[in-house]
Amino acid sequence: QGFVDEVVALRSRGDLHSGLPSIRAVGYRQVWDHLDGKLTWAEMQERGIIATRQLAKRQFTWLRSWSDLHWLDSLDSDNLSRALKYLGTVSILS
């Protein structure tokens, strides 16, 4: 409920509307539409999940386009030393 409360507080300011880019962001749009009566609670949740998956897919596509991207396995306990080793071999300013 905390996120819904946040959107309720933003709506109460009176200077925001659903056409703003910040309100069209994933999650905010779905809650805003629910509060407007356009979506049921279940529809809001489902559309939020779908929008989150779509955003993640776009982000991965964008990241894969980076030729010099170095991926780290999130389950690897040695990530800190791997990252520091990698940073030591590349110029941060290049």
Note whether residue 92 is domain-resident: no
State yes or no: pLDDT of 92 exceeds 70: no
Note whether residue 74 is domain-resident: no
* Residue 89 to residue 7: CA distance in whole angstroms: 45
State the CATH number of the domain containing residue 61: 1.10.287.890
Neighbours of 54 (CB within 10 A): 11
Q: What is the pTM of this model?
A: 0.72
Per-residue model confidence (pLDDT) at position 31: 98
List, as one string, the DSSP characters of 52-63: HHHHHHHHHHHH
Note whether residue 10 is domain-resident: yes
Per-residue model confidence (pLDDT) at position 93: 54
Range of the domain at 57: 2-66
Note whether residue 83 is domain-resident: no
Note whether residue 73 is domain-resident: no
What would the two tokens of residue 53 be? 């998956």
Note whether residue 6 is domain-resident: yes
Note whether residue 21 is domain-resident: yes
Per-residue model confidence (pLDDT) at position 2: 95
Instruction: Name the average pLDDT for the chain.
Output: 92
